[in-house]
Amino acid sequence: MRRHTGLILALDETDVGQAMAVARSVHDLVDAIKINWPLVLAGGPETITHLSEMVPVICDFKIADIPNTNRLIVEQAVDRGASGVIVHGFPGRDSIQAAVDAANDAEVFVVTEMSHPGGEMFTAPAAEAIAMLAVECGAKGIIAPATRPERIAAMRRLVGDLLILSPGVGAQGGSALQALRAGSDHVIVGRTISGADDPRAAAEAILRSMSD
C-alpha cells in the first residue's frame, strides 16, 4: 500500500451507489479504502473490482477459517482486485500462513485483538502471541485500535517494521494524531467521512488534524 497521506477510509456502507459516491469524492486523499462483507453482499464481488480501479482496496473480511478455505477466500479477493486482505489471527499459525502464501503480491493484515467489549474475553489475552505469529508468517501488518494508543505502542515494540493500521478514529473516539504518535502507520476512519454531508471536507479536516 502506498503511504501518501496515512489515511484509510473504512467504507462501511451497504448502499453501493452511496459507497461509490463517497469513494469518488475522497479517493485521492486516502492511501486505501477498506470494505467489508456487507458491501460485497449488497453489491456483489464486482464491487471490489470497481473500487480497485479507483484506489487500492483492502478487503476487511476478517477471514477466520481453516487454511484451505482461507487460501480460497484470499485468492478470490485478490483476483477481484483487492490489494490487501484482513485476516483473524485467532485461528492460528497455519491459517495465517495460508492467507499470506495465497496473497502473493497483495498484503495481508492480521487482527491481533478486537477492541469492542466482547473482544476482551478471548481476543485480548491472545494479542501478543498473535502479533508474533503475524511477524513469523510474513504478514504485511497488523490492526491495532486507535482508541487505545497504549496498545499501539505495545504492538509496535513487538512487530518491528510491520505496518500498523488503526481503526476507531473519529466517531469511536480515537485520535488520529495520538495513534500515529504511538506508532501507527495508517489510521482508518469511517463514519466521520462517509457519514458527513461533505465527505471530502471531512477527510481534509482529518488530514489537517494528523499534521497538527
The one-letter code for the residue type at 138 is G
Please pick, among 24, 27, 50, 62, the residue that the annotation labels catalytic.
62
**Smallest separation (angstroms) from a copy of itself to the CB of 67:** 6
With respect to a copy of itself, which residue has the nearer C-beta, 94 or 204?
94
**Smallest separation (angstroms) from a copy of itself to the CB of 103:** 15
With respect to a copy of itself, which residue has the nearer C-beta, 29 or 85?
85
E-only strand ranges, 64-185? 84-88, 107-111, 141-143, 163-169
**Smallest separation (angstroms) from a copy of itself to the CB of 175:** 20
Interface positions with a copy of itself (CB under 8 A): 12, 14, 36-38, 40-42, 44-46, 61-67, 69, 72-73, 76-77, 80, 88-96, 114, 116-123, 126, 129-130
**SS3 call for 166:** strand
Q: Is 62 among the residues known to form the active site?
A: yes
Cα 11 to Cα 61, 102, 151, 172: the distances in Å are: 13, 25, 24, 15
Q: Residue 46: count other Cβ atoms within 10 Å of its Cβ.
A: 12
| R_g over Cα of the chain | 16
Angle between helices 16-26 and 199-210 (to 10 degrees): 50
With respect to a copy of itself, which residue has the nearer C-beta, 32 or 114?
114
The residues carrying an active-site annotation are 62
